[in-house]
């Protein structure tokens, strides 16, 4: 049977080229393109490639009668309608573990960058303001590191924190018995016990805006927030108010609720360092993700168990 593959996520030519070795690829990274492809080719599509942020909804799945497998690039799958997929017997896979190191590295880059105010200092030096840029900024070594979401990436952040001699705590849905770090039963308590709070939590209704005004007040005027998980975890309005009002010392964001649209109150906020959702984009991570994507597709088309099925 011919294989038509719908790719709903932004993809490199290397990924598209590999997928073309399996069949006809319909590349539709935008909503308008996606609707057009589904209208024109929906009955033929057997495989769908997406990610946790874009997902795929029940209404779209209904228009794909031949669909047999959905694969999320990356670990997240929060916006894939699993109930609709399973009702149809559609296999669902994801890509855990492929970009853990890159995201953990990036979390620390943001943490160090905003704490030491590297971007502002660089700009001042370039403007000839050498002396003005020589301000006191807090260090990281020996400080308290709180991690929201102690999964694979969270553990990577914790291990990097150990290298800085940091005291590490975490908040999860459940306590982990396999780590030496201090567990906090509430996010507010974790924030209160942290100098740096790093959010690595997955998206979805359970975590939406859990970093709110109360949590930011608990983090306090000397505390820093870093988010490399999902943008929806942080309340944009509460964060903007906290930065403008000095409730917290600063923040580093790789993800943003409503991205790529950035609210004006965040663009104008002091002590805020942005990157455009690139934490997991390293050559090693991209190559590992492509290998896993192709392995899951090969397993499906050959009738073998998926390599990394969604639990």
**What's the pTM value of the predicted model, to 2 decimals?**
0.89
Note if 10 is an active site residue.
Answer: no
Domain limits for position 11: 4-98+283-301
Q: What is the pLDDT of residue 44?
A: 96
Note if 13 is an active site residue.
Answer: no
Tally of domains within the chain: 2
Q: What is the pLDDT of residue 76?
A: 87
Which residues, 6 or more positions from 62, have their beta carbon under 8 angstroms from its beta carbon? Answer: 84
List the catalytic residue out of 162, 167, 259, 265.
259
Q: What is the pLDDT of residue 134?
A: 87
Q: What is the pLDDT of residue 75?
A: 87
Task: State whether 59 and 109 are in the same domain.
Answer: no
Note if 259 is an active site residue.
Answer: yes
List the catalytic residue out of 208, 217, 244, 277.
277
Q: 308 lies in a domain?
A: no
Task: State whether 46 and 13 are in the same domain.
Answer: yes
Q: 216 lies in a domain?
A: yes
Which residues, 6 or more positions from 227, have their beta carbon under 8 angstroms from its beta carbon? Answer: 198, 199, 211, 233, 234, 251, 252, 253, 254, 255
Tell me which residues of the chain have a pLDDT lower than 50: none
Task: State whether 94 and 155 are in the same domain.
Answer: no
Q: What is the pLDDT of residue 1?
A: 57
Sheet holding 224-227, edge to edge: 182-183, 167-171, 144-148, 196-199, 224-227, 250-253, 272-274
Sign (positive or negative) of CA dihedral 259, 261, 265, 270: positive
Q: What is the pLDDT of residue 2?
A: 67
């Amino acid at each position: 049977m011919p294989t038509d593959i719908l790719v709903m996520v932004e993809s490199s030519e290397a990924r598209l080229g590999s997928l073309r070795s399996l069949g006809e690829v319909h590349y539709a990274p935008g909503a308008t393109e996606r609707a057009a492809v589904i209208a024109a080719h929906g009955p033929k599509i057997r495989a769908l490639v997406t990610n946790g942020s874009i997902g795929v909804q029940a209404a779209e799945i209904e228009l794909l009668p031949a669909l047999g497998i959905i694969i999320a690039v990356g670990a997240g799958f929060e916006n894939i309608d699993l109930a609709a997929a399973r009702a149809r017997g559609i296999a669902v896979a994801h890509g855990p573990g492929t970009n853990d190191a890159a995201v953990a590295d990036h979390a620390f880059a943001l943490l160090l960058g905003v704490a030491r105010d590297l971007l502002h200092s660089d700009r001042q030096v370039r403007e000839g303001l050498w002396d003005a840029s020589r301000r006191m900024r807090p260090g990281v070594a020996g400080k308290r590191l709180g991690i929201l979401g102690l999964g694979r990436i969270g553990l990577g952040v914790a291990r990097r924190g150990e290298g800085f001699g940091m005291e590490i705590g975490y908040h999860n849905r459940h306590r982990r018995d396999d780590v030496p770090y201090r567990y906090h039963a509430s996010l507010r308590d974790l924030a209160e016990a942290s100098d740096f709070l790093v959010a690595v939590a997955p998206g979805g209704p359970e975590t939406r805006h859990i970093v709110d005004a109360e949590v930011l007040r608990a983090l306090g005027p000397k505390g820093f927030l870093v988010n490399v998980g999902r943008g929806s975890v942080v309340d944009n309005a509460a964060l903007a108010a906290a930065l403008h009002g000095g409730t917290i010392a600063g923040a580093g964001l790789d993800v943003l609720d409503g991205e790529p649209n950035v609210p004006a109150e965040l663009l104008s906020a002091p002590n805020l360092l942005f990157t455009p959702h690139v934490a997991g984009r390293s050559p090693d991570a991209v190559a590992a993700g492509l290998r896993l994507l192709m392995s899951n597709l090969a397993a499906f088309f050959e009738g073998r168990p998926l390599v990394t099925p969604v639990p």
